[in-house]
Structure 1
Amino acid sequence: MFPSCKRSRRKSANKSILRGKRSMAKLGTEKRPIIVRVHSDEKARYVAEKCTEHGWQYIIGFETDKPEDISDLEKMLDPPAPVTLKKMGRNEPCQCGSGKKYKKCCGSGSVLSA
């Protein structure tokens, strides 16, 4: 293989990383297990039961000198809701409260001067 070919492959791999084509592994998989830190056997059993119930991979650490951290498990049990924005119609009242139609107020694209 020619040296120039190697360089072009590296550049294209770097571009795909910058474009976000390579993503992190999903939480709870073998590549990215749920990692928790607990103080008691009871909490460890709870974490193990929940992860096994859902088929998630996990790692439990017992560290009494550090605070408990089960944030990965909490993220998986209660994922954040996706943000949905209502599209503003041009003839609807403006959200700013002016009483004008959106197209005549914030949707006009013009800047008001003082």
Structure 2
Amino acid sequence: MSDKFFFKGKKEKKPKHSSYGFNTKRAAKAGTEESPFLLLVNTPVRKAEIEQILQENNLIAKIEVKADVSENIAELEGFLNKPKTITVVAQPQRNEPCPCGSGKKYKKCCA
């Protein structure tokens, strides 16, 4: 008798390589040897300043000095000025002990 009426599911097993393992499609992190920043500066003095910033933050970049082109360090500024995650301390629940140390419940002390 065929399994056409009673079988639920796939007849072929799913190949293992597609369900787990090394992720080959990940993006390389900017500022590393694999994906260095591409920066343009106007003067060698400015290049030295940028190299100092890169050393402090352990980053890698390819810096070109061109006097006739406007400066372009947007990649570096975007990486350095990333917004920080804000964490908020949760307020205690009504029946928990009060954080002031009185020993009373929060609802009878500081609520």
Q: Percent identity?
A: 25
Tell me if 1:77 matches 2:80: yes
Q: In the alignment, is the contact (CA less than 8 A) between 2:43 and 2:66 conserved in 1?
A: no
Q: Which residue of 1 aligns with 2:51?
A: 48
Q: Hey, which of these two has a bigger chunk of helix by percent?
A: 1
Q: What secondary structure is seen at the aligned counterpart in 2 of 1:44?
A: helix
Cα deviation for residue 54 of structure 1 reads 1.2
Aligned alpha-carbon RMSD (Å): 3.1
Match of 1:22 among 8, 11, 25: 25
Unaligned runs of 5+ in 2: 1-14, 16-22, 86-111
Tell me the number of residue pairs that the alignment of Structure 1 and Structure 2 aligns: 72
Q: Which residue of 2 aligns with 1:61?
A: 64
Structure 1 runs (4+) greater than 3 angstroms displaced: none
What is the TM-score when the length of structure 1 is the normalising length?
0.50
Alignment of 1:67-106 (within 5 A): 67-81=70-84
* Greater gyration radius: 2
Q: Which amino acid aligns with 1:71?
A: A
Unaligned runs of 5+ in 1: 1-7, 9-16, 83-114
- What is the distance in 2 between the residues matched to 1:51 and 1:26? 15
Q: In the alignment, is the contact (CA less than 8 A) between 1:29 and 1:57 conserved in 2?
A: yes
Cα deviation for residue 60 of structure 1 reads 0.6
Change (3 A) 1:26 1:62: same
Cα deviation for residue 80 of structure 1 reads 3.8
- What is the distance in 2 between the residues matched to 1:22 and 1:79? 24
What is the TM-score when the length of structure 2 is the normalising length?
0.51
Q: What secondary structure is seen at the aligned counterpart in 2 of 1:35?
A: strand
